[in-house]
Structure 1
Amino acid sequence: MPRVLTLVRYFVKVAWAWTVCLLLPFIALTNYHLTGKAGLVLRRLSTLLVGTAIWYFCTALFSNIEHYTGSCYQSPALEGIRQEHQSKQQCHREGGFWHGFDISGHSFLLTFCALMIVEEMAVLDEVKTDRGHHLHTAITTLVVALGFLTLIWVWMFLCTAVYFHNLTQKVFGTFFGLLGWYGTYGYWYLKSFSPGLPPQSSSLTLKQDTYKK
């Protein structure tokens, strides 16, 4: 089990990188296949920049919250505060144990990544390629890879729920992941001055029409 937990920690650290590496070609190919407009493709690819900004902002926020709510202790049992160490890094360097409100970055990132993949794959309702089409193999491969990646993120989310952080920290982390998803795909991307939603999906068109009413 320790090896599994180490593996979970490692993969979560690079979760956003894996998500971007697969979503970038998927968004580019499917959006260009449907629209044929390079400008629209670039606009839609900016969703990855927005996602990166959300990831960076939230992880920095979580780190600051842990810093300002934490203290350095002499042992994991939180005995003996070491007042001379005012930062987590300094505390760890000197052999101390930092304890603060550590919002689960795992819960945040895995929630956000999985929901973003699901939203972008909604475009498959409109993507029609026969086996002879030059994009068929590439798109099919990316769909399988993204589906597999989503399963990995869900599995790691469950591992996080069982083995890492306390309940409150996990709830806050998941909340921020949901907030990042809804704030973009559920609100901002419905506006004209945004990267926009995946094109020509009937379900998303209905979603936009419902919002406008």
Structure 2
Amino acid sequence: MCSPDTIVVQDIETPVEEKKKQLPGSSVWETFFSWGVYYLHINPVMKIIYYIITLLIFSLMKESMDIPHFEILTGKQSVLNKMFVKKGWGITCVVFVLYQLVSLTLHTKWKASLKKLLVRAVATTFFFFIWCAVIFQLIENYTQACTYRNIRFELTKKECHNKADHVYHSFDISGHSYLLTYCVLIMMEESKEIVYFLCLRRYLRGAHEDTVEEVSLPVLEAKEAKRMTLRLTILSPIVVIVFMCVVLLCLLWDFMLIVTTIYYHTFLEKVIGTTLAVSMWYMLYRRSFLCIFRYNIFNS
């Protein structure tokens, strides 16, 4: 079977006998690529369990001890927060759409794949915007209060913070917990295209029997196979580079999620943000898209 666990080893490397003669071992690039495939193809249930455990452990640490900030990495004004997380969905969307667009050229039915990609990009963007930019903000505005010596003042968040000894309160659902969990789960789904890419390479090399049931490889005549092989040869470096960008971005989001869990928001605010992100991922990728893409309009 051409699964993520076996594809990388068998596809990228040469046969065992040739490998002993030609290569003493896998290069750093091949090893990192293989690890990236494993990392992004962890069972989503296991990934969600990991998020729940880290949320519990680090939230408990936050409540029980004073953990110092490393402003360059964990502060609100850090480069990671201002340049990446604040623009997190835009960066995520650009990277996974670019990755899919490059991969589309390796499909014979690329128009059908493009339609599905457009639907996924629009739907995932909508559910990021509606929660993070609209609903979370409305809840915070509705529950906000600015107090001074137990006297409540009708001040905005910015105005309250600018006044000495004034305390700002609100129920601020963690947009970072939602965004970062949502982005990683979506990129895990979108990165599954790498399985098609690796299986196609083996298929064009003659390993027709070594495919995955979920991967539908094209049946190509000799001339078509030659054209596809040439196209694959040209695009392979680009596919691999963009895929590694997906891996690195997921690693960054996982790190920033740990930072959010340790330093910001209450436990309940983080739980709600994370739960909503998992729910949206499940609704879209495990329910809605599977139903929508059954219609003929998305398969022609």
Which category of TM-score, normalised to the shorter sequence, fits these structures?
0.7 to 0.9
Give me the CA root mean square deviation: 2.4
Name whichever of 55-64 and 87-96 sits farther off: 87-96
1:70–1:98: 8 Å Cα contact kept in structure 2?
Answer: yes
Aligned-pair CA distance for 1:123: 1.9
Aligned partners of 2:177, 2:257: CA distance in 1, in Å? 6
1:5 equivalent to 2:74? Answer yes
1:32–1:38: 8 Å Cα contact kept in structure 2?
Answer: no
Aligned-pair CA distance for 1:89: 4.8
1:123 equivalent to 2:196? Answer no
Aligned-pair CA distance for 1:146: 0.4
1:109 equivalent to 2:185? Answer no
Aligned-pair CA distance for 1:111: 0.3
1:72–1:83: 8 Å Cα contact kept in structure 2?
Answer: yes
Deviations 1:104-132 (A, max 9, x none): 00000000000000001112111134796
Aligned partners of 1:2, 1:50: CA distance in 2, in Å? 35
Aligned-pair CA distance for 1:148: 0.7
Identity in percent: 27
Number of aligned residue pairs? 191
Aligned partners of 2:183, 2:257: CA distance in 1, in Å? 11
Aligned partners of 1:194, 1:175: CA distance in 2, in Å? 28
Greater relative CO, 1 or 2 (CA 8 Å, sep 6+): 2
Aligned partners of 1:92, 1:42: CA distance in 2, in Å? 47
Change beyond 3 A, Cα 1:34–1:81: farther
Match of 1:16 in 2: 89
TM-score when normalising by structure 2: 0.58
Specify the SS of the correspondent of 1:33.
Answer: coil
Which structure has the bigger radius of gyration?
Answer: 2
Unpaired stretches in structure 2, ≥5 consecutive residues = 1-69, 202-228
Specify the SS of the correspondent of 1:186.
Answer: helix
Unpaired stretches in structure 1, ≥5 consecutive residues = 200-213
Match of 2:41 in 1: none
2:146–2:167: 8 Å Cα contact kept in structure 1?
Answer: yes
Match of 1:83 in 2: 153
